[in-house]
Amino acid sequence: MLRVRIAAVGRLPTCAPEAALITDYLGRFEQTGRALGLGPVQVVEVEDRRRGGRAGEAALLERQIPSGAPVIALDERGRSLSSPDFAAELARYRDDGRSDAVFLIGGADGLDPALCARADLVISLGAMVWPHMLVRVMLAEQLYRAATILAGGPYHRT
């Protein structure tokens, strides 16, 4: 079973409209992924109260990386993957016997370059810059889409 952790900078209020979307997509991912050896998902939020900038945020995010887990950083300078390629990456981690995978989402200024350099995979959700709260929604949707692709379901149509 590949457990998924999303470690993100900043707090998302539970009443925010993004929160409902994230909950919905992650719930769907867990339901679909369970039979595929994917899930559960844990979302961890960190806040740099000492205002250490990207380096301070990186230190907090580093603490959320389980030992031996592949690190997937979301960064605008990362690789663009198709949804089937993203699904294949998750399946590869699972099939390699990894028990955890962690996705890192930076704050308003993005991830520290040293943290991106340490990542196993750096992906971009497109050439445009997205607010980090929307990145959480988009990642949650892509996790669900990946599970449906691996399950052969109809959600993802090519």
List domains and CATH numbers for the chain.
Answer: 2-151 (3.40.1280.10)
Collapsing DSSP to helix, strand or coil, 3 comes out as strand
In sign, the C-alpha dihedral spanning 121, 124, 130, 133 is: negative
> What mean pLDDT is predicted for residues 121-134?
92
Q: Give the global pTM.
A: 0.95
> In this model, does residue 49 exceed pLDDT 90?
no
DSSP classification of residue 156:
S
Say what the pLDDT of residue 147 is. 98
Say what the pLDDT of residue 116 is. 97
> 83-95 and 132-151 are packed helices; what angle lies between their axes, rounded to 10 degrees?
70
Confidence of residue 158 (pLDDT cuts 50, 70, 90): low
Residues 70-95 have pLDDT tens digits of 999 999 999 999 999 999 999 999 99
Burial class (CB in 10 A: 0-12, 13-18, 19+), 84: middle
Confidence of residue 23 (pLDDT cuts 50, 70, 90): very high
Say what the pLDDT of residue 129 is. 87
Q: In sequence order, which residues have a C-beta less than 8 Å from that of residue 133 and are 6 or more positions away?
A: 10, 12, 16, 18
Say what the pLDDT of residue 108 is. 87
> In this model, does residue 13 exceed pLDDT 80?
yes
> What mean pLDDT is predicted for residues 114-143?
95
